[in-house]
Structure 1
Amino acid sequence: MDDRVLGRTGRDVAVIGLGCWQLGADWGRVDDADAMAVLHAAVDSGVTFLDTADVYGDGRSERLIHRFLAERPGEVMVATKCGRRADPHVPAAFTPENLRAWTDRSRANLGVDRLDLVQLHCPPTPVFSSDEVFDALDDLVTAGNLAAYGVSVETCEEALTAIARPNVASVQIILNAFRRKPLERVLPAAREAGVGIIARVPLASGLLSGKYDEHTTFAADDHRSFNRHGESFDVGETFSGVPYEVGVAAARELAEVAAGLGVTTAALALRWIVDQPGVSVVIPGARNAVQARANAAAADLDPLDTDTLATIEHIYDERIRAHVHHRW
């Protein structure tokens, strides 16, 4: 798998990584054995970047990765996130003391002295303009608690604010064939500044797998059931903010494009992201080892041709743009 430099971390990572939200919670049950199988299958397939957060299963995802690191030390870079533990989730909660406590908890969960990369976990918008917050993160780097820090954002404007900060190493943002807005300003700005782009929700919560239809149901503890209208967190995190029925119809058209190329819809969707200039790593999740291997294999596909790219853009413009482009 091709490697790319992850922004100001200076570290090379394989272009397809693994998002580990599924291994913690909110996607239906994934038992420990399946979670460990996912981690091993991903790394066996060339993945070298794992993305998790302290709130995924209240630390369960981090602790599972700790187990994996003990079995296979030195093979991967691990990024985690902090800030969603704040209750209430307000700018005033992002104090130096809380940032230290949150990152200390992640160090313990992951079993490491120094975190490879810590990302602010979609904090309230004013946090991105807070010198105090970023000074505190600089202090944690100086103290050796973390090697680098970045941000995870909901909106393009938040991303642009973060990119302008001199020590932000990476920006994690939703980017997929149903969320194209970051292509306009965020990716060019990141390339110019040398900031890494981590593309999350690459399959639009599974819509872009091409496996769902109007009759698909999800478990009660799956965010695709309980957060369809933003009841628990930003609705853009669930199906990329696309109304489910709209997304199913658009994904059906994309599946026809994929079939014409002889690939799966998921592989087409992942290859589309890999082809975008400025993307450092894309982080699809997986609930089992088969999915993990299939996701990694998308990196081996040839770059998409101009006709295919134009068709994907047309599907977005005709079916998706009006629902999401103005919102994030």
Structure 2
Amino acid sequence: MQQRPLGRTGRNVSAIGLGTWQLGADWGQVSETEAEAVLAASVASGVTLFDTADVYGDGRSETLIGRFMSSHDAYGVTVATKMGRRMAQEPGNYTPENFRAWTARSRENLGVDTLDLVQLHCPPTAVIEDDATYEALDALVADGAINAYGVSVETTAQALAAIRRPNVTNVQIIFNPFRLKPMDEVLPAAEAAKVAIFARVPLASGLLSGKYSPSTTFADNDHRTYNRQGEAFDKGETFSGVDFDEGLAAVRELTEALPPNVSLPQATLAWIATRPGVTSVIPGARNVDQATSNADAAALIDGGFDVEAFDAVVRDVYDRRLREVIHPQW
């Protein structure tokens, strides 16, 4: 597994990380035993980045990771959490007092004195553009509550605003074959500024797994049921904002372009990880097989798969099927 610099922190993180939204909520239930097995399988496969958030299961994901880290040999694993979504998304809630309270709760959940990396969790644009935001985050670093900070964003404009801040370690943004806009400006800007990019929702909420059909249904408490039109949060978080049926048609084209020994999810993860400017891809996993398969995609980064030929297909499918609708939105 390739290990890549985490911005200017001196740390390295794996090219394929693990997103842990599934271990909290909004994807159906995952037992504590299953969650621990997912974390263990990921570490055994060379994963050194866990991405979580205080809102995932209202702290459940953080707590499970904290228990795992305290009871397993997980040396070198960076735990990146996020904060800010447990309150109304109003700029007035992003205060130094709330930052201290939110990070204190995450430190307790994770069982650590200092958080490795804290990211603002898709805050309003006004928060990303406010000097006071970064002054408060710098104070947390100075106080030893956090080692570094970044921003998770919805739009490329937000990403570019965050990248311009000198102490931002990373930007987390949706990037996959259904969301190519970050390639235009965000990835080059991040690479030039030595800001790490975490590619989130890399499999478009599972749509790019190639396992879904028009008849596929999801649990009532799964955001793929209740948030397709943005009923609960930004619709781009669910299937990357792509219409489900149109996404299935695009998936068929992408799959047909692959050799028989390469799966679509592994090809997708390898393609994302090899785009210049991407530091780590953070797919989620609900079971050990998913976690292992995701991590195994790292083998395709170093050879055995013509990633650039797949890149040409990705761009063609996006341009014909998705660009007109998707590109202007985020």
User: Normalised by the size of structure 2, how large is the TM-score?
Assistant: 0.97
Distance 2:309 2:49 in 1: 31
Distance 2:100 2:307 in 1: 47
Matched, 1:85 2:86: yes
CA shift for structure 1 position 7: 1.0
Matched, 1:293 2:292: yes
Q: Provide, for residues 145-171 of structure 1, a one-character-per-residue CA deviation record: whole Å limited to 9, x for no partner.
A: 000000000000000000000100100
**Aligned mate of 2:306, from 304, 307, 322:** 304
Q: Identify the range of structure 1 (1-10 vs 212-221) with the bigger mean alpha-carbon deviation.
A: 1-10
Which residue in 2 is equivalent to 1:179?
A: 179
CA shift for structure 1 position 66: 0.7
CA shift for structure 1 position 312: 1.5
Distance 2:64 2:307 in 1: 39
Matched, 1:56 2:73: no
Structure 2 unaligned residues grouped into runs of 5+: none
CA contact (8 A) 1:209 1:265 kept: yes
Which residue in 2 is equivalent to 1:116?
A: 116
Matched, 1:280 2:279: yes
Give the 3-state SS of the residue equivalent to 1:7 in structure 2: coil
Distance 1:311 1:261 in 2: 16
Task: State the percentage of identical aligned residues.
Answer: 60
CA shift for structure 1 position 261: 5.1
CA shift for structure 1 position 9: 2.3
Letter in 2 for 1:286: A
Distance 1:323 1:253 in 2: 18
CA shift in 2, pair 1:101/1:264, >3 Å: same
**Aligned mate of 1:317, from 315, 319, 322:** 319
Give the 3-state SS of the residue equivalent to 2:289 in structure 1: helix
Q: Identify the range of structure 1 (198-207 vs 248-257) with the bigger mean alpha-carbon deviation.
A: 248-257
Q: Provide, for residues 92-146 of structure 1, a one-character-per-residue CA deviation record: whole Å limited to 9, x for no partner.
A: 1000000000000000000000000000000011001111111000000000000
Letter in 2 for 1:244: F
CA contact (8 A) 1:271 1:304 kept: no
Which residue in 1 is equivalent to 2:232?
A: 232
Letter in 2 for 1:176: N
Give the 3-state SS of the residue equivalent to 1:109 in structure 2: helix
- How many pairs are equivalent? 326
Q: Identify the range of structure 1 (39-48 vs 3-12) with the bigger mean alpha-carbon deviation.
A: 3-12
CA shift in 2, pair 1:55/1:310, >3 Å: same
Distance 1:106 1:48 in 2: 19
Distance 1:185 1:8 in 2: 20
User: Normalised by the size of structure 1, how large is the TM-score?
Assistant: 0.98
Structure 1 unaligned residues grouped into runs of 5+: none
Distance 2:146 2:307 in 1: 40
Q: Identify the range of structure 1 (310-319 vs 186-195) with the bigger mean alpha-carbon deviation.
A: 310-319
Give the 3-state SS of the residue equivalent to 1:171 in structure 2: strand
Which residue in 2 is equivalent to 1:168?
A: 168
* 1:85-234 alignment, distance < 5 Å: 85-86=86-87, 88-234=88-234
Distance 2:17 2:173 in 1: 14
Q: Identify the range of structure 1 (309-318 vs 149-158) with the bigger mean alpha-carbon deviation.
A: 309-318
CA contact (8 A) 1:27 1:223 kept: yes
Which residue in 2 is equivalent to 1:35?
A: 35
Letter in 1 for 2:278: V
Distance 1:219 1:271 in 2: 29
CA shift for structure 1 position 10: 2.4
